[in-house]
Amino acid sequence: MRIDAFMNATNIVKRRSIAQDMCENKVVSINNQIAKSSRLVKVGDVITLQFLEYQKQYEVLAIPQTKSIPKSKMQDFVKEIPTSK
C-alpha cells in the first residue's frame, strides 16, 4: 500500500491529499529515508513525521485491506513510538 493511502487509511492524517502534501514537502520518512507519496509501506517499517517543533514515529504492524478503518482499530495497524522532544 502506498504511504499516502496508508496514512489516510490508518487515521494518521484525515485526508490522502494532506499525506501527499506532507510527502512533497519532505516531512515524511520511512526507515530514515525521505518518502515520496508513491512509496510502498511494509510491515515493520518505521514512519517518521517531522513537524516544526517535534516528530512522531509509527511502526507498521499490519497493512489494512480496506480504504479506511475505524479509529478504534488504529492500534491493530500502527503503534506510536515514543520519541524524545
Q: Write out pLDDT tens, residues 1-60.
A: 999 999 999 999 999 999 999 999 999 999 999 999 999 999 999 999 999 899 999 999
| Domains of the chain, earliest start first | 1-79 (3.10.290.10)
Secondary structure (H, E, C), the chain = CEHHHHHHHCCCCCCHHHHHHHHHCCCEEECCEECCCCCECCCCCEEEEECCCCEEEEEECCCCCCCCCCHHHHHHCEEEECCCC
pLDDT at 66 over 90: no
Between 85 and 76, the more confident residue is: 76
Quick one: pLDDT band at residue 85, thresholds 50, 70, 90? low
pLDDT at 83 over 80: no
Quick one: pLDDT band at residue 84, thresholds 50, 70, 90? low
